[in-house]
Amino acid sequence: MNITEKILSSKAGHEVTPGEIIEIPVDLAMSHDGTSPPAIKTFEKVADKVWNPDKIAIIFDHNVPANTIGSAEFQKVCRDFIKKQGIKNHYIHGEGICHQVVPEMGLAEPGKVIVGADSHTCTYGAFGAFSTGMGATDLAMVWATGKTWFMVPQAIKMEVIGELNPYIAPKDIILNIIGKIGIAGATYKTAEFCGETIENMGVEGRATMCNMAIEMGAKNGIMEPNREVIDYICKRTSKKENELKIVKSDSDAVYEKEMLFDISDMEPQIACPNDVDNVCDISKVEGTAIDQCLIGSCTNGRLSDLKDAYEILKGQKINDNVRLLILPASREIYKQAMNLGYIEAFIDAGAIICNPGCGPCLGGHMGVLSEGEVCISTTNRNFKGRMGDPKSSVYLSNSKVVAASAIEGVIKNPKDLM
């Protein structure tokens, strides 16, 4: 059996098979300031008390601080619900983006079943959990019962080999995979990432890849925890390794499909408007004029992303024709970046530093694009109108490319500046 089948079997109490419908208990149910209010509205029609307030996390990140009266009202509904239900895992003071805060707070562990009212909940597969997004109505029923149902997914084994060169990052790997598979190529499948490249990859890069599994339609992305992940979880949870429920695929596990990706000599990858699978080498679009650059989001707002940008931007000035927005993914990362001198270098370069949050990724808060504007971003989606006006355009890349592009005023290969 593969990792996902083993986790679901453990929760179901019997050996499951792909295509089987199962009802299983949930270990963590997460929502944010955008999805909690509709879930609360549904929940209050069916129950008075949540099944377990300790297994619920509510995080304010999409519009923090509130930027409209509507956002403020949504957040008030959430705060009232948190108090009424005694929910302890609440992060409502700008702690950061939910998918960064959950693992920081030790809520993501191997073998767990985690659901969230956000499509990028698949991020926690980087920690060996079965983790997936769901709608607000489904989440409300989880709050009420502590259970949910799934159809056991088929799995695609995605083996990655080769070493990252200095100009690419894990973001390029997942963009390349999505470009080859397509936005619906893994619909309701498990995307199981493995291979020497994954084994040698750090926690942050692994989170980036699992985060974007949904962009090829996958039900979940997942990886076997490596040493760095195990050490990270032990530190965050104060548990010993033998207390973790680490799950690994059997050597003879059956997959619907097995794919091999060799990243040797890969160029930085760019997802062009208006689909995440519209991917090409940077050489095909280098020189494209841009108006805005964005480094942040639950995909690439981590310390390693800020470090990559810092190494290009230190001592430089951004182009007069562009604006560069930088949003650390969490308060913890913001503080680390300050202590390391990254933030000062970004400010000196002319960047706008924003508080941790989702903000411009979804065109909801800060950095909204106007008609005809072009943005190159480290975020996870570039759909039409995603970051503002429907006639604006978004290109996706790693943070090195964004930093280099901010200096040049056009999409630029960081190889030319590093």
Please say if the pLDDT value at position 365 is more than 90. no
Residue, of 339 and 362, whose pLDDT is higher: 339
Going by C-alpha positions, the residue among 7, 217, 26, 6 that lies closest to residue 122 is 217
Question: With contact defined as beta carbons under 8 Å apart, do 216 and 191 qualify?
Answer: yes
Instruction: Tell me what pLDDT residue 200 has.
Output: 96
Q: Assess whether pLDDT exceeds 90 at residue 252.
A: yes
Domain residue limits, the chain: 3-261, 270-416
Give the end-to-end CA distance of the chain in Å, rounded to a whole number: 44
Helices and strands, number each (H, E), in the chain: 14, 18
pLDDT of residue 361: 87
Q: Is there a shared CATH topology between the 3-261 domain and the 270-416 domain? A: yes
Mean pLDDT on 320-347: 98
Assign 3-class secondary structure to 6-35: HHHHHHHCCCCCCCCEEEEECCEEEEECCC
Q: Domain 270-416, what fold?
A: Aconitase; domain 3 (3.30.499)
Residue whose pair of structure tokens reads 């290009």 in the numeric block: 312
CATH dotted code for 3-261: 3.30.499.10
pLDDT for 360 equals 86
Per-residue confidence (pLDDT) for residue 363, from 0 to 100: 86
